[in-house]
A and B are shown apart, each in its own frame.
Chain A
Amino acid sequence: MQNSVSIRDLSLNFGSVKVLQHLDLDIAQGEFIVLLGPSGCGKSTLLNCIAGLLDVSDGQIFIGGKNVTWLEPKDRGIGMVFQSYALYPQMTVERNLSFGLRVAGMKKDEVERRVARAAEILQIEPLLDRKPANLSGGQRQRVAIGRALVRDVDVFLFDEPLSNLDAKLRSDLRVEIKRLHHRLKNTMIYVTHDQIEALTLADRIAVMKNGVIQQLSDPHTIYNKPVNLYVAGFIGSPQMNMFEGTLEGTTFTTADGTVVSVDTYDFAAPSNGPIQAVLGVRPEHIALGEAAAAMPFSIDAEIEIVEPMGSDTLAWTKIGNKAVTFRCDSDVVIETGQMVRIGFDPARGSIFSAETTNRL
């Protein structure tokens, strides 16, 4: 199948600052790709390059098989939604939606038809005569999505579209964007720093750092099999527990002497001699009580702090000298100072080389 968007060896420098470095990315037709990373990692820059709002320093961009590297934004077949909505304040919603079509010189009845369709899809028909100032944040963002929708483009670009909304609206609109994607089946490229948005929306996530894609994979793989320490630490809240230590064969010894047998772990390449390594275990993969005793590794530990989150409970404890968080059912009664048995299966964990930070 032909790729919808292809990025070949893309580089972008602002003066001596390298924002994007030799970046390659292929996005399939109808795929929902999320570019995820902290601020300053180049994800928005990459999106602006795809949109044609920034000139690239090197490399090529293909959209729908056509080389668009030198094309104007309007000729690339893209629609874009911005974080600040970027609605034209002096125009009504209807004029906002139709602006691009009017610029293109489209016939009036066709403009009306498309605006009506977008308004129907996004349920903003009652708002068409209002000015953006009289809309709530969620309504504004809907209009902004509508503006991309009327253009009838192949590729949608979202630049942190939900970051200016409050938590409740954010989760509502998140579901709506997903529904929209199911209905329209367009290619969507979505930039965010919110890992929940990334994990819930994406077909594939590209985790970025310093202008380089660290890992490009489906959410499940990104979460459970991060390729390096950076991805492991960035995804997941609370963070993955990281034990530093030495790995010799299938025996992992933490810095303070706790020995963990990791023979259930699926090594990509078996290592021989003792090497410095980091063992990562997600908080929800740590079991408690009887379940812990059944795990390949288990140990007694004292509870330090308990954080009930409603849906589940986070507990802080220590293995050796290392602070550890684990997640348990909210019905489990645990108290500060209580001694509990905790354990985990290294097969569900991740082991990284301390030297290269890559997954072993």
Chain B
Amino acid sequence: MSQISTMASVSPAPTGAAVEPRGPRPKPFFTPRKIIIYSILVMFSLYYLFPLYVMFTTSLKTMPEIRFGNIFSLPTAPSFDAWVKAWTSACTGLTCEGLAPGFWNSVKITIPSTIISIFIAAVNGYALINWRFKGSEIFFAILIFGSFIPYQVFLYPLVMITREMGIFGSLQAVIIVHTVFGMPILTLLFRNYFASLPQELFKAARVDGAGFWRIFFEIMLPMSLPIFVVALILQVTGIWNDFLFGVVFAGTQNYPMTVQLNNIVNSAQGTPEYNVNMAATVLTGLVPLAVYFVSGKWFVRGVAAGAVKG
């Protein structure tokens, strides 16, 4: 008996097979599962990081070095000249003031649009869940349906509406358009988030005598930080990256950064300055990039919180 058992324990694996199992089970590092997961993750990160690498290195090179053609090589003498030019003196159409005015235009568009759209959507979501009125479900359905209609369909009517309002080609026009188009998805987000909060809290506040706004500001808002962060990220990146509404509604003096970037990159005169183009592109993308980096953790958490309940 003892002979058999010794043989059985020795034969399959000589190292450590005789160890009596005890405590936590050892977890080998290289399992097929882990290898597959990590190789896929690495592949995808390379796929997204390579363009960023090329853009960044190119922007630090001089034009002669770029013409040499080796786009993956590191710059021999890194210089930020192209960045300075892109920010201050690159030609965007007729003027040659760089991206700086476009940056400030984008700020002027993004901040009010984000604040107004999030505020209205939060109130919408709160009212749809907690103050159900006759037809509130239908109202919500129509609102969601709005998010399935392509932007192009709205474009011409919106141009006419803003023209009739006398604000076409102004900051107000873009801000209003962004607010309107943010409404369906943001309302859905807030509605679902408020639906996940316990109804009894709302009831308790009503018994305590608080009204619509009081409950909203003192009970609901302090509990809604995660979903506000999500909405903030969605809106800031969405509005910052917008091109279409900016070019149509803002008017030439208010063109956002994206439109001016396009004007720099697609300028027909002279030889294309790739280093300046790359620098301008990275500059334009910095804001959304920063937003994601700072709030990535919150974003995932908030999306999970808002999306689960329908």
Contact = CB atoms under 8 A, between A and B. Distances in A.
Contact of A80 (B203, B214, B219): B203
A90 B201 CA distance: 12
Contacts of A100: 207-210
Nearest to A159: B200
Nearest to A53: B203
A1 interface: no
B222 interface: yes
Given A103-B210, A103-B214, A88 B205 contact: yes
B204 interface: yes
Given A74-B209, A103-B210, A80 B223 contact: no
B208 A103 contact: yes
Contact of A103 (B209, B222, B223): B209
Contacts of A78: 207
17 contacts: A51-B203, A53-B203, A53-B207, A72-B206, A72-B209, A73-B209, A78-B207, A80-B203, A85-B200, A86-B200, A88-B219, A90-B222, A99-B205, A99-B218, A100-B207, A104-B209, A159-B200
The 4 closest A-B pairs by CB, nearest first: A74-B209, A100-B208, A86-B200, A86-B204
B166 interface: no
A327 interface: no
A79 interface: yes
Q: Which of A48, A52, A103: most chain B Cβ within 10 A? A: A103
Given A84-B198, A99-B210, A103-B214, A147 B204 contact: yes
A309 to B, nearest CB: 35
Contacts of B223: 89-90
A90 B220 CA distance: 10
Given A84-B200, A88-B205, A88-B218, 12 more contacts: A52-B206, A72-B206, A72-B209, A74-B208, A74-B209, A80-B204, A84-B198, A88-B201, A89-B222, A100-B208, A100-B210, A103-B209
A248 B201 CA distance: 57
A1 to B, nearest CB: 26
Contact of A99 (B198, B200, B208, B222): B208
A104 to B, nearest CB: 6
B134 to A, nearest CB: 11
Interface residues of B, number: 16
Nearest to B202: A86
Say what secondary structure dominates the interface of chain B: helix
A86 B201 contact: yes
Given A88-B219, A90-B223, A74 B206 contact: yes
A243 B256 CA distance: 84
Interface in B128-176: none
A182 B210 CA distance: 30
B177 to A, nearest CB: 35
A84 B202 CA distance: 12
Contacts of A316: none
A83 interface: yes
Interface in A62-90: 72-74, 78-80, 82-90
Contacts of B200: 82-86, 159
B132 to A, nearest CB: 11
Interface in A85-116: 85-90, 99-100, 103-104
A84 B200 CA distance: 7
Nearest to B222: A90
A81 to B, nearest CB: 9
Contacts of B222: 89-90
Given A88-B219, A103-B214, A147 B208 contact: yes
Given A88-B219, A90-B222, A103-B214, A74 B207 contact: yes
Contacts of A73: 206-207, 209
Contacts of A90: 222-223
Interface in B80-118: none
Interface in B187-221: 198, 200-201, 203-210, 214, 218-219
B207 A51 contact: yes
A83 B204 CA distance: 11
A88 B222 CA distance: 10
A85 B201 CA distance: 8
Contacts of A52: 206
Contacts of A74: 206-209
A80 B223 CA distance: 22
Contacts of A53: 203, 206-207
A78 B208 CA distance: 9
Interface string A298-342: 000000000000000000000000000000000000000000000
Interface string A258-285: 0000000000000000000000000000
B136 to A, nearest CB: 14
Nearest to A51: B207
A247 B207 CA distance: 53
B200 to A, nearest CB: 4
A79 B214 contact: no
A100 B206 CA distance: 9
Interface string A17-56: 0000000000000000000000000000000100111000
Q: Which of A74, A83, A104: most chain B Cβ within 10 A? A: A74
A57 to B, nearest CB: 14
A51 B207 CA distance: 7
A24 to B, nearest CB: 24
A71 to B, nearest CB: 12
B206 to A, nearest CB: 5
Contacts of A48: 203
Interface in B211-266: 214, 218-219, 222-223
Contacts of B204: 80, 82, 86-88, 147
